[in-house]
Chain A
Amino acid sequence: IAGITQAPTSQILAAGRRMTLRCTQDMRHNAMYWYRQDLGLGLRLIHYSNTAGTTGKGEVPDGYSVSRANTDDFPLTLASAVPSQTSVYFCASSDGGKPNSPLHFGNGTRLTVT
């Protein structure tokens, strides 16, 4: 593992199903983030965590939940998927949890909700 690993790479999911997107980093970064990327909208923050044990809501948190049990892992859960959650999801981390610390991104999870 080098950097940020996201799994799965892609997934097709039936509406109403529950899904957890996994994210693991090996850089010991304090802060971690989940973004969704949609054409014409750029990246929008879903949830973030400044340090293990804490989480916060971003711009578009509804329908998503996160947990941060340890420094390395930051899973994103869709409790009951809807088609509007079709998107590419990126996990990111930064050192120090400050906005002037560059973000390091995973390669993304492409999710299609049918």
Chain B
Amino acid sequence: GEDVEQSLFLSVREGDSSVINCTYTDSSSTYLYWYKQEPGAGLQLLTYIFSNMDMKQDQRLTVLLNKKDKHLSLRIADTQTGDSAIYFCASAGANNLFFGTGTRLTVIP
């Protein structure tokens, strides 16, 4: 199956920008997603990008896709303490979403 990789941890100060990176292996992936998981809860869809797009912006969130390098990133502007969570990228397969390991974002007040 697809390999989707993320770094496990990221710490940023409140008000700074956070950048969470993800790499994937399946060049035929049509959609790539970012999910957020808060403690004790399931995953919630944050945003997604279609493979023919380079960038998508949604309020404080910016998704960048480098399809050549199979690299996806999520930038959170003006990071707040409420953004502390685990962030998963996921790549769409035929009958499955392949998830990365998740990046635990800690926002330091």
Interface residues, chain A, with chain B CB atoms under 8 Å away: 4, 33, 35, 40-45, 48, 50, 56, 58-59, 90, 92, 99-100, 102-108
Please name all residues of chain B whose beta carbon is closer than 8 Å to the beta carbon of A104 when the two chains form the complex: 45
Q: How many A-B residue pairs have CB under 8 A?
A: 60
**A42→B100 contact, CB < 8 A:** yes
Say yes or no: A45 contacts B96, CB within 8 Å. Answer: yes
The answer to whether A43 and B88 touch across the interface, beta carbons within 8 angstroms, is yes
Tell whether A40 pairs with B94 under 8 Å between CB atoms, given A105-B42, A105-B43. Answer: no
Name the distance in Å between A49's Cβ and chain B's nearest Cβ: 10
Once A90-B42, A106-B42, A107-B42 are accepted as A-B contacts, the answer to whether A100 and B99 lie under 8 Å apart by CB is no
B64 interfacial by beta-carbon distance below 8 Å? no
Binding site for A on B (CB under 8 A): 1, 4, 8, 30-31, 33, 35, 40-45, 48, 50, 88, 92-97, 99-102
Q: Is the CB of B48 within 8 A of A102?
A: yes
A99 B42 Cβ-Cβ under 8 A: no
CB distance from B50 to the nearest CB of A (A): 8
